[in-house]
Each structure stands twice: as structure tokens, then as C-alpha cells.
Amino acid sequence: MAKEVQTDQAKGPEHVAIIMDGNGRWAQMRGRPRLFGHHAGARRVREIVEACPAQGVKYLTVFAFSTENWKRTQTEVAGLMKLFRRYILRESRDLYESGVRVRFIGDRVRLDDKLVNLMDELELLTSGNDRVHLTIALNYGGRDEVTRAAKRLAYEIETGKLSYKDVDAETLSRFLDTHVLPDPDLVIRTSGEARISNFLLWQSAYSEYEFIDTLWPDFTAEEFARVVGSYGARDRRFGAVKV
């Protein structure tokens, strides 16, 4: 049966998620090592976070390292891990002072203790902030997240805290890394690839997608504003028929 759905497109997306792709190609085009591109990419993250309030974007989620990225060379993986540690050390104060609340999603088990400690500290430091909610996906994979959630849910059932009869989409969502976040309204992927690559699989069931040709290190606040602005022209119905 047709269901009336209220959509508030004029407001723009509240939650934007980004697959930051193209760092490697950006560096290679300049004859530089791939890590040079990742460093340039990290600088863009800050610019885009800063651009969020003016666009009415309250939640920004970025894909920094996937569960599949471990397959890259040891040099690149180690360089990225070092970059994440340095990023947190260098940016913490500024993020805190500019009202950004930082969260990390993904499986921390495989990350080194030094990095995990820095992640915990930054989450704690910024936990009182509410201007922009920045979520960094680190060792994150959508299937891995749903699998970990299912495991925890199964444990609750096995230990008698839940009945299998209680299991529905809402219950499972509570076990996801993203349980405190709204679903993304808009997912942007840079660098011309039109794939989801295991990013927020469950949460993006009704998200709009924008695939942009620009390589991530070239993705400016102006382009972000344009892409976010174009979202207002869309008509999301969440599977229902607009009447």
C-alpha cells in the first residue's frame, strides 16, 4: 500500500559519508610515492570538516582504512598507520577547539596499541562537542561490522539477555559500530570509481550516491558545497510512493 512519506529535502543532508579515493593516482601523476597522496588527502579531511557547518552537515563520516587495505604493501600500510597517529597528535587540539566530536568505527583489534590509545583519547577529549560529528572509519568493513554485530547479538541470546524473537533490524542496528549515528543521507565517492567497496553497507540502504571524478586530494570545500547543494534537488522516498 502506498505510504505517505515526509521528506525534508530543503534542509540538505544531515549526514554525509565519503569514500576518499584517488590518493595513490594523484601522487603517481606527480611522480611521487603513494604516501605523498595520502598526506595530501589527510589535509583535505580538515578542510571538508570545516566546511560542514555552513552546509548544514552535522555528521561527516570518512573511510580512512578498510579491512581490505591490509593487502597493500607493507610500506604503504605502515605509512598509513603512522599518518593516522600523526594526524591525531597534530589535529587533536584544533578539532577539540573547533567543536568537532570525533568517533572511530571499525575493528580495533588489529590496530596497534599506540594508535588505539590515541583514538580513545581523542574520542574522550572531544566527547562534549556537538558542532560537527566526525566519524573516521579505520580498519572498517561493512560485512565485518555486521558480522561482529551478529556475533554480539548471538552472545546476548546465548546468555539469555535477549530472545531470538526480539531480533529485528532495529535490534541489530544497536550492535553496529554506528549505533549512535543517523544513517547517511548522502554518500560521496571521489576518483571516478562507482563502487561501494564495503562501506556502510547496512546504513546506506536508502542513501543517495554521488560519484565524483575528482581525485580526493583535489576535492575542495567548494566542490563539497556544490555536491551537498545538489542533494536538495533529489526526491527520496524510502521505498514508498509519494502522494
Catalytic residue among 69, 129, 198, 218: 69
69 is catalytic: yes
Cβ pair 177, 105 in contact under 8 A? yes
- Nearest distance from residue 33's CB to ligand FPP, in Å? 11
21 is catalytic: yes
Other CB atoms closer than 10 Å to residue 77's CB: what's the count?
14
Catalytic residue among 21, 144, 177, 185: 21
- Interface ranges with ligand FPP (CB under 6 A): 20-25, 34, 38, 41-42, 45, 62, 64, 69, 83-84, 87, 136, 191, 216
In the bound state with ligand FPP, the residue whose beta carbon lies nearer, of 83 and 167, is 83
- Nearest distance from residue 20's CB to ligand FPP, in Å? 4
- Nearest distance from residue 97's CB to ligand FPP, in Å? 18
In the bound state with ligand FPP, the residue whose beta carbon lies nearer, of 61 and 175, is 61
In the bound state with ligand FPP, the residue whose beta carbon lies nearer, of 130 and 193, is 193
Using CB positions, name the residue nearest to ligand FPP: 24
Q: What is the rounded distance in angstroms from the CA atom of residue 107 to the CA atom of residue 120? A: 13
- Nearest distance from residue 226's CB to ligand FPP, in Å? 20
In the bound state with ligand FPP, the residue whose beta carbon lies nearer, of 21 and 177, is 21
Residue 108: HSE in the Cβ half-sphere, 13 Å Cα cutoff: 13
**Catalytic positions:** 21, 69
